[in-house]
Structure 1
């Protein structure tokens, strides 16, 4: 039987790191992120569940100044400087051709690709839904590895896709700055909706 006291204390620490004390960062310390950490981040993200293990997420980690300069013109003005400062900006996209990977990812069911290909809209909805699930796992995995995150909209998705995924059937979902945030630049945490406002038990 597990020690409930020590297990609870460890769980509380992890909950704080992942949720209760974690913040969205816009200012960054001048501290690089090791490439090996990005590999571990993806390996953890990939373990999260998706429909029939379809795994449509595709990621480019923008790290070099040259790559940042390709990205910045396609971003809203308010997102440019914080992205320039961040050690890494992840472009999280989803692959509209993801059913082609199901022979590898879901090999016990040969008909699985047909579950997602009845129409172009059905394929896109599944890619967006499951890619977004993986995006959530991505943020939690990053936090668990000690990284801070700054997920963003505010960019020209088609232009970013053309700049970084030319000739590939990928659509960009969102961007996420990664690194070690400057806690001194944080504003007070904004309120959240209560359980009673946001939820029902039926």
Structure 2
């Protein structure tokens, strides 16, 4: 029996099989229009109760890039400095303020997140879902993404989110892949190692 995907093989390869985490980039710029189009696509990804906690800071100016690079791990500094565009992805732990508009089906939605610890947990989980969609959205626009977790989280939050309501989830370099952009492809777990049917 064969399975039929709504996405052709070329699209599947673009988003998954041929997509790689890029470590070098060309100097071809990524326009504001493209950066905004990425968000306009990925905003449709699902989150619990349509919470949408993801907040994106596109780092463009040399001054902001220097501030960011200062807080990256040593192995991530050079590629973050050189990437055409860098996105800081954070979760807004006060996302519930928007729920009366984004989840009007449940008038008590905002009150359901009155407990801050519950909000933080929800923001992290749903923000992580959106990070995954962001990476796929970058690939859907024909670009390579270089997601990283190697940074000083507390320092980045203080530097770019001083009001204290955001948790940084990832930093993503974005652009066209440059020379020797890829490490050797690492193996993935096989179906029988990851999937169980009960």
Give the structure-2-normalised TM-score.
Answer: 0.94
Q: Deviation of residue 179 (structure 1)?
A: 0.6
| 1:61 and 2:58 matched | yes
Other structure's SS at 1:26 match? coil
- 1:10-65 residue CA offsets vs partner (Å, 9 max, x unmatched): 61110000000000001111110011001101111111111111100001011222
Is 1:194 matched up with 2:190? yes
Q: Give runs of ≥4 in structure 1 deviating > 4 Å.
A: 7-10
Alignment match, 1:35: 32
Other structure's SS at 1:185 match: coil
1-side partners of 2:89 and 2:75: how far apart?
19
Which residue does the alignment assign to 1:108?
Answer: 105
Counterpart CA distance in 2 for 1:187 and 1:153 is 17
Q: 1:96 to 1:8 in 2, by over 3 A?
A: closer
Q: CA RMSD in A?
A: 1.6
Q: Distance in 1 between matches of 2:61 and 2:34?
A: 16
Gaps of 5+ in 2: none
Q: Distance in 2 between matches of 1:186 and 1:132?
A: 24
Question: Where does structure 1 lack aligned partners over 5 or more consecutive residues?
Answer: 1-6
Q: 1 or 2, which has the higher helix percentage?
A: 1
The offset of 1:67, in angstroms, is 1.0
Which of 172, 175, 180 is residue 171 of structure 2 equivalent to?
175
Match of 1:150 among 138, 146, 153: 146
Q: CA offset at residue 132 of structure 1?
A: 0.6
Among 60, 71, 87, the residue aligned to 1:74:
71
* Partners of 1:8 and 1:112 in 2: CA distance: 36
Distance 1:200 1:153 in 2: 30
State how many pairs are aligned: 195
Partner of 2:119: 123
Task: Give the alignment partner of residue 9 of structure 2, picking from 7, 12, 28.
Answer: 12
Bigger CA drift: 108-117 or 93-102? Answer: 108-117
The DSSP-based 3-state class of the residue aligned with 2:8 is helix
Pairing partner for 1:86 from 77, 83, 86: 83
The 2-side partners of 1:201 and 1:11 are apart by 27
Tell me which of 43, 62, 81 is aligned to 1:46. 43
